[in-house]
Structure 1
């Protein structure tokens, strides 16, 4: 088995226990003892890197276009949000480059410390240290910077699930070892998100957990049963929460509530419609005058208005390419840990895009969830850049294995 690893070949057909033994040996060994085949020395995926950089740049342009009016009114400076997003973009490119150059196996020793740190930050938001905005305490204030732990929780959960599922490869079909512990940890993170409240992030965490459990080979019956319980919990969380239920009723009757509770999704749908096929042109959208916080969760609506159906189609194609290259990296990863890590990150991007666009199109009720790499916000942009960098690191090792195998 060690000879196969040193040759840089793909995952072998050996029993799961051998894979688990190999991973445990790597965990106990210093980094220098890890075979060369699992060190990030190959070229990164150029298509994946280009898509991420293009999305970051596109996000800066769209944030400026969507926020200039609000920035002028609130801060007397049309470039207020542009300057901040530009700074976040430069920092995210640096994070992307650094993480892509680091062997993803270094995450082994950081898995539990990062998971615990994110859990503490989420708890701080709940117990009174969170900065409130829009009726929710989702941010922690560190000087001039606002950190959103829920964004970190998504990547932290993916890294832990990849680590744990790879270790338990021979017992992943069992309920007490392969299924329940993963559901409990994700459930704890979901509960902390719900307490902020952040229903959208809780849904993303649940979907990520089920996706990775399915990919790892957990019993479908367990996943279906937990999915039913999760759906029932979600319905109860909406029905017995006054503000969520009122928002849901307004979403069902948008025409009647277009001037109050459904104002934001109604204006968002109008933005898409007014863009028609080719859009009104960058900076020429009128909905920036009416759509609240257009540069954050509803930036896709401004894309639809200013760049039209064609612009939205190209944006969706870019995200689809991002997810497909992530899956490609997962299939070519040299071990199960890298495969789960890459697949989980690809799923994280895909799920967030689907939920955000569904909300912007009023297919789903309004919930605060950023559009990856495009919405305004430092926490989301930096975490997604780190995730993309890890994905690039996995892709580099997979490419190395392909060349050596040939």
Structure 2
């Protein structure tokens, strides 16, 4: 009888062996299932989108199949880090991301009324995607240090960095990204026991920013008008959401069958922002409920693991990262169902994406690293 593979033996002392027996398997399998669903939907939706804009039919499919392994490798590599190294690595990512956010204002290419992307060597890069998880780690560390030393200005420094990132994303402008960042940080500040007044201050700033954007940013006004006044709203915005709702109606419970959907031929972002609609049309409400359940499982499982920790840095970090992950998924699915105004935000691990899917892998790698079973890891960092 052949000896067991040492990679799957509990006493295996290799790096990957220790990782396998300490990482949370539930989160890992949920992410892999979401990724698999994304690959299937990419094969279905991407060729029509690529052909409509003059690209080779399978160009988006090939890129997605390239980016998914990179995302998973990023996730695994980051999940091998210790909490101390997660903090140090996040500082480097945040510094590079802030530089990118400044650079994109001057050298970024404007698409759909916003400057969010840098184009380097044929690839597009969205710096704000990488700033999102890195900022949460920094805020978590600052709030933790504030708990350890009442004289340490951790809370003020956290507000400074939140304000800095918020200002840079608003200048692009990217209202949806800004709201996700503010709401995730609000949760961290709330559970850190900071005065409730500051939570309301951040909420007020977010609502004020959204209100002002209506008057000064045309594409935001168009989306809000289309949502609240569909009879007089922007025809392009109304077209996308009507096609999305029609796709769910056409799909019913069980869907019209793989590759048989119509929305991917009609909506420009069927492979990205409206991939949930493609799932609903071709595979029905059953798959949509399963996808939503997977996202809910990832968020709830992450929060449960955070509650079991005794280290404040880990608790604050994992809570912020899981809330951010859930918010991004909710915004994408709610947009497709017309529960909220249209917002271009990808569905984590499912939508086609370059920097977005890599950044999601980065964030989930941090969650896996911070929630690993560790002996003797109890104190503060």
Question: TM-score category by the smaller chain?
Answer: 0.7 to 0.9
Q: Please give the alpha-carbon distance, in whole angstroms, between the structure 2 residues aligned to 1:171 and 1:248.
A: 45
User: 2:120 aligns to what?
Assistant: 142
User: 1:123 aligns to what?
Assistant: 102
Are the counterparts in 2 of residues 41 and 397 from structure 1 also a CA contact under 8 Å?
no
The correspondence of residues 270-289 of structure 1 with structure 2, limited to 5 A, is 270-289=246-265
The correspondence of residues 180-219 of structure 1 with structure 2, limited to 5 A, is 180-219=156-195
Q: Please give the alpha-carbon distance, in whole angstroms, between the structure 2 residues aligned to 1:76 and 1:389.
A: 33
User: 2:9 aligns to what?
Assistant: none
The alignment's TM-score, normalised by the length of structure 1, stands at 0.83
Pick closer, same or farther for the CA change 1:40–1:338 going to 2, 3 Å: farther
- The secondary structure found in structure 2 opposite 1:262 is helix
User: 1:326 aligns to what?
Assistant: 302
Are the counterparts in 1 of residues 145 and 154 from structure 2 also a CA contact under 8 Å?
no
The alignment's TM-score, normalised by the length of structure 2, stands at 0.88
For structure 1, the 5+ residue unaligned runs are 1-38
Q: Please give the alpha-carbon distance, in whole angstroms, between the structure 2 residues aligned to 1:314 and 1:352.
A: 17
Larger relative contact order, structure 1 or 2 (CA cutoff 8 Å, min sep 6): 1
| Number of residue-to-residue matches in the alignment | 360
For structure 2, the 5+ residue unaligned runs are 1-17
Q: Shift in Å at residue 133 of structure 1?
A: 2.1
Q: Please give the alpha-carbon distance, in whole angstroms, between the structure 2 residues aligned to 1:117 and 1:81.
A: 27
Q: Does 1:160 align with 2:138?
A: yes
Equivalent in 275, 281, 302 of residue 305 of structure 1: 281
Equivalent in 20, 45, 51 of residue 24 of structure 2: 45
User: 2:272 aligns to what?
Assistant: 296
Q: Does 1:377 align with 2:353?
A: yes
Q: Please give the alpha-carbon distance, in whole angstroms, between the structure 2 residues aligned to 1:58 and 1:372.
A: 11
Q: Please give the alpha-carbon distance, in whole angstroms, between the structure 1 residues aligned to 2:240 and 2:212.
A: 24
Summarize deviations over 1:218-271 as a string: whole Å, max 9, x none: 111221233123312321222333332233112223245474342212221222
Are the counterparts in 2 of residues 171 and 178 from structure 1 also a CA contact under 8 Å?
no
- The secondary structure found in structure 2 opposite 1:228 is helix
Q: Please give the alpha-carbon distance, in whole angstroms, between the structure 2 residues aligned to 1:256 and 1:275.
A: 28
User: 2:78 aligns to what?
Assistant: 99
Q: Please give the alpha-carbon distance, in whole angstroms, between the structure 2 residues aligned to 1:375 and 1:224.
A: 33
Q: Does 1:392 align with 2:368?
A: yes
Q: Please give the alpha-carbon distance, in whole angstroms, between the structure 1 residues aligned to 2:206 and 2:22.
A: 41
CA RMSD of aligned residues (A): 2.2
Q: Does 1:169 align with 2:128?
A: no
